[in-house]
Amino acid sequence: MEVDAVDLVGPDRYARNGAPHEAWKVLRREDPIHWCEPDGFESFWAITTHTDITTVSSQPDLFSSEEGIVLLSSQQLTVPQQQMRTLIEMDPPEHRSYRKVTSHCFTPKAIGSLHEIVTSSARNVIDALGAEGECDMVEQVAKRHPLRVLTTILGVDREDEERMLELTQQLLGSADPDLRRENDDQTAALGEIMAEFVTMFDRIIQDRRAQPRDDLATVLAAAHLEGCPMGVTETLGYYLILFTAGHETTRNALSGAIEAFARHPKELERLAQHPELMSSAVEEVLRWTSSVNYMKRTLLRDTVLRGRTLKEGDRLVLFYGSANRDERVFDDPFVFNIARHPNRHLGFGYAEHFCLGAHLARASITAVVKQLAARTNALELAGEPQNMASSFVIGRKTLPIRYSFALVA
Ligand code: HEM
324 with 253: CB under 8 angstroms?
no
**pLDDT of the residue at 407:** 80
Minimum mean pLDDT range among 97-101, 147-151, 188-192, 324-328: 188-192
> Any residues with CB less than 8 A from the CB of 56 and at least 6 apart, and which?
47, 63, 297, 305, 316, 318
**pLDDT of the residue at 51:** 98
- Give me the percent of the chain exceeding a pLDDT of 90: 81
Q: Please name every residue paired with 404 in a beta bridge, in sequence order, or none if there are none.
A: 132, 378
Q: Which pLDDT tens digit goes with each residue over 124-174?
A: 999 999 999 999 999 999 999 999 999 999 999 899 998 888 887 787 666
Q: Is the dihedral of CA 212, 111, 66, 85 positive or negative?
A: negative
Q: Which pLDDT tens digit goes with each residue over 46-58?
A: 999 999 999 999 9
Query: What does the alpha-carbon distance between residue 261 and residue 273 come to, in Å, rounded to a whole number?
Result: 14
**pLDDT of the residue at 2:** 85
What atom of ligand 1 comes closest to residue 88's alpha carbon?
A: 40
pLDDT confidence bin for 79, thresholds 50/70/90: low
> Any residues with CB less than 8 A from the CB of 116 and at least 6 apart, and which?
none
**pLDDT of the residue at 82:** 55
Minimum mean pLDDT range among 125-134, 190-199, 311-320: 190-199
What atom of ligand 1 comes closest to residue 65's alpha carbon?
A: 16
Q: If you average pLDDT over residues 5-29, what whole number do you get?
A: 98
Residue 380's SS3 state is: strand
Distance 13 CA to ligand 1 centre (A): 24
Residue nearest to atom 1 of ligand 1 (CA): 250
**pLDDT of the residue at 81:** 57
pLDDT at 110 over 80: yes
Query: What does the alpha-carbon distance between residue 363 and residue 357 come to, in Å, rounded to a whole number?
Result: 10
The response to whether residue 147 sits with its C-beta less than 6 Å from ligand 1 reads: no
- Give me the percent of the chain exceeding a pLDDT of 70: 96
The response to whether residue 250 sits with its C-beta less than 6 Å from ligand 1 reads: yes
pLDDT at 80 over 70: no
The response to whether residue 173 sits with its C-beta less than 6 Å from ligand 1 reads: no
Q: What's the pTM?
A: 0.95
**pLDDT of the residue at 369:** 98
Distance 131 CA to ligand 1 centre (A): 34
pLDDT at 386 over 80: yes
The residue among 357, 362, 364, 352 whose CA lies nearest residue 318 is 352
Q: What is the average pLDDT score of the chain?
A: 93
Query: What does the alpha-carbon distance between residue 64 and residue 316 come to, in Å, rounded to a whole number?
Result: 10
Query: What does the alpha-carbon distance between residue 184 and residue 123 come to, in Å, rounded to a whole number?
Result: 41
Minimum mean pLDDT range among 152-161, 265-274, 351-360, 370-379: 152-161
Distance 81 CA to ligand 1 centre (A): 21
**pLDDT of the residue at 191:** 84
The response to whether residue 241 sits with its C-beta less than 6 Å from ligand 1 reads: yes
Question: For residue 175, which amino acid is it?
Answer: A
What is the 8-class DSSP label of residue 81? P
> Any residues with CB less than 8 A from the CB of 165 and at least 6 apart, and which?
143, 147, 247
Distance 348 CA to ligand 1 centre (A): 6
284 with 402: CB under 8 angstroms?
no
**pLDDT of the residue at 164:** 87
Query: H or E segment at 305?
Result: strand 303-305
Query: What does the alpha-carbon distance between residue 154 and residue 161 come to, in Å, rounded to a whole number?
Result: 11
Rg of the chain taking only CA atoms, in angstroms: 21
**pLDDT of the residue at 12:** 95
pLDDT confidence bin for 224, thresholds 50/70/90: very high
Minimum mean pLDDT range among 5-14, 105-114, 164-173, 365-374: 164-173
Q: If you average pLDDT over residues 170-179, what whole number do you get?
A: 69
pLDDT at 409 over 60: no
